Chain A
Amino acid sequence: AQSVTQLGSHVSVSEGALVLLRCNYSSSVPPYLFWYVQYPNQGLQLLLKYTSAATLVKGINGFEAEFKKSETSFHLTKPSAHMSDAAEYFCAVSGTYGQNFVFGPGTRLSVLP
């Protein structure tokens, strides 16, 4: 079975500062890992995904994430936050064949001017 934890339900950063959103997973099989973003009153949009290829994954809007098996982590980063990055971010994990897709509880990112 798979599970996901996201440290920090709410993260605030200043505009231009580094964004770091934490995700740790538990999986009994090699996992697939995903980050989704949800802007206010909208659906979820796929930011990036790890599917056993390169461990450093680049996504849309300047975000990237690094898969670290030894730490069972898949943290999301962006070098410089923009006001438009304010949203809810969800980490998700599935089994090797996409089964048992599970979302983390989400982290709300606020960007301060």
Chain B
Amino acid sequence: DTAVSQTPKYLVTQMGNDKSIKCEQNLGHDTMYWYKQDSKKFLKIMFSYNNKELIINETVPNRFSPKSPDKAHLNLHINSLELGDSAVYFCASSPRDRRRGYTFGSGTRLTVV
């Protein structure tokens, strides 16, 4: 069973479109995250959710919005896509005991054309 699963794995879309990426974890973790990895492999946290409450919101454009219907899901919605949004987006989750580290999904490669 996949611990943290993201869909789709690849997403190619035109500028101006609105798209969503889904994430689900079956680990029973209480916090989920979205990270953006740029072309230089640098990882930047975008959002985290703990029990449906947004607890980290870095300086990302408000075109990006996380939505968590329940503890096991954290979806990422992106409006009015721009070329600069092209990147790999990773979902992750962590338990209450953060010493155990984060578990990552396999990533969604978003290409905006």
A43 touches which of B40, B42, B101, B105 (Cβ 8 Å): B105
Contact, CB under 8 Å: B98 / A99: yes
Q: Is the interface of B mostly helix, strand, loop or mixed?
A: mixed
B98 touches which of A43, A46, A97 (Cβ 8 Å): A97
Q: Is B47 an interface residue (CB 8 A)?
A: no
A44 and B42 contact, Cβ closer than 8 Å, known pairs A94-B98, A97-B98, A101-B98 = no
Contact, CB under 8 Å: B43 / A101: no
Q: Is B34 an interface residue (CB 8 A)?
A: no
Max chain A CB contacts within 10 Å: which of B4, B97, B99, B101? B101
Which range contains the number of A residues in contact with the other chain?
A: 20 to 34
Q: Is the interface of A mostly helix, strand, loop or mixed?
A: strand
Q: Please, what's the 1-or-0 string for B17-60, where 1 marks a CB less than 8 Å from any CB in chain A?
A: 00000000000000000000000111101000000000000000
Contact, CB under 8 Å: A98 / B98: yes
Number of A-B contacts (CB under 8 A): 49
Contacts of B92 in A (CB 8 A): 44
Contact, CB under 8 Å: B107 / A43: yes
Contact, CB under 8 Å: A42 / B107: yes
B94-113 interface (Cβ within 8 A of A):
94, 97-107
Contact, CB under 8 Å: B41 / A44: no
A60-111 interface (Cβ within 8 A of B):
88, 90, 94, 97-99, 101, 103, 105-106, 108
Nearest CB on A from B5, distance (A):
10
Contacts of A14 in B (CB 8 A): none
Contact, CB under 8 Å: A34 / B42: no
Contact, CB under 8 Å: A105 / B41: yes
A44 and B90 contact, Cβ closer than 8 Å, known pairs A105-B41, A105-B42, A106-B41 = yes
User: Can you report 14 A-B residue pairs in the complex whose CB atoms are below 8 A from each other?
Assistant: A32-B99, A43-B104, A43-B106, A43-B107, A44-B43, A44-B90, A46-B102, A90-B43, A98-B94, A99-B98, A101-B94, A101-B98, A106-B42, A106-B43
